[in-house]
Amino acid sequence: MNSNKLKEMEQNLAIFKEKLNDVIEEIGNKEILIGQKEILKYCELLNDENKLYFDEQIANQFGFDGPVIPPSYIMNITNPVMQILFIRIGQDFFQGLVKGVIHVSSIVNYYVPMLLNKRYKIKVEATNPVLRMGTKGKYYSVIIKLSILSEDMKYTYATDDHEFFFKI
């Protein structure tokens, strides 16, 4: 690879990192409140009649301070934030800077039950791009991590990590 091409690639990577970090900072920490109506509808769609999700007395019998959010609901919480991220970066990234993107994986970790009608925050972070070599050339691996935290941001309830390959 000639020095001009390498220099251009390094410049594009720097622009990519800066824009991604700017969008993440712009999004900030989203506050969410999951109510019973949402969970009832979700459980109805899945035909899930687990009373832990909507009956306070049953939840109390199992040691919870109230009804809990189904663990399978986590991606319903994080997906809107991921959509915002891609809508905002799409305008800049996909007009010449990024030539392709592949969603490689999503790993959800659920650490402790989340209660209904309690406020949570979603924090967005991204790893530094890591250069990878593939059969189609060079690309960068980036993990975008969405963490569901307590309102004071001291306790992590769940994480949703998405790995993407970006061709720059």
| CATH number, position 88 | 3.10.129
Whether 99 is covered by a domain: the verdict is yes
pLDDT class of 93 with cuts at 50, 70, 90: confident
For the chain, what is the mean pLDDT? 89
Residue 165 CB neighbours (<10 A): 17
The region that residue 47 occupies, defined by phi over 0 for left and psi between -120 and 50 for alpha, beta otherwise, is left
Residue 160 sits in which domain range?
A: 3-34+73-167
Report which DSSP code applies to 68: B
pLDDT at 131: 86
pLDDT > 70? residue 1 = no
pLDDT at 73: 93
Residue in 57, 34, 165 with CA at minimum distance from that of residue 104: 165
Backbone angles phi, psi at 70, to 5 degrees: -55, 135
pLDDT in tens, 16-33: 888 889 989 988 899 999
Residue with the bigger pLDDT between 102 and 90: it is 102
Residue 141 near residue 163 (C-beta atoms within 8 A): yes
Whether 61 is covered by a domain: the verdict is no
Residue in 26, 10, 131, 32 with CA at minimum distance from that of residue 84: 26
pLDDT > 80? residue 167 = yes
Whether 115 is covered by a domain: the verdict is yes
User: How many structural domains are present in the chain?
Assistant: 1
Q: In the predicted model, what is the mean pLDDT of residues 66-93?
A: 88
Q: 20-24, 75-79, 132-136: lowest mean pLDDT where?
A: 132-136
Whether 150 is covered by a domain: the verdict is yes
Q: State the Cα angle at 56 between 52 and 58, rounded to 5°.
A: 55
Whether 25 is covered by a domain: the verdict is yes
| Alpha-carbon distances, residue 144 vs 33, 63, 77, 82, 107 (angstroms) | 22, 34, 15, 9, 11
The region that residue 52 occupies, defined by phi over 0 for left and psi between -120 and 50 for alpha, beta otherwise, is alpha
pLDDT in tens, 34-63: 999 999 999 999 999 999 999 999 999 999
pLDDT > 80? residue 143 = yes
Whether 160 is covered by a domain: the verdict is yes
Strand duo 119-126 + 30-33: pairing: antiparallel
Whether 47 is covered by a domain: the verdict is no
Whether 41 is covered by a domain: the verdict is no
Alpha carbon distance 61, 69 (integer Å): 16
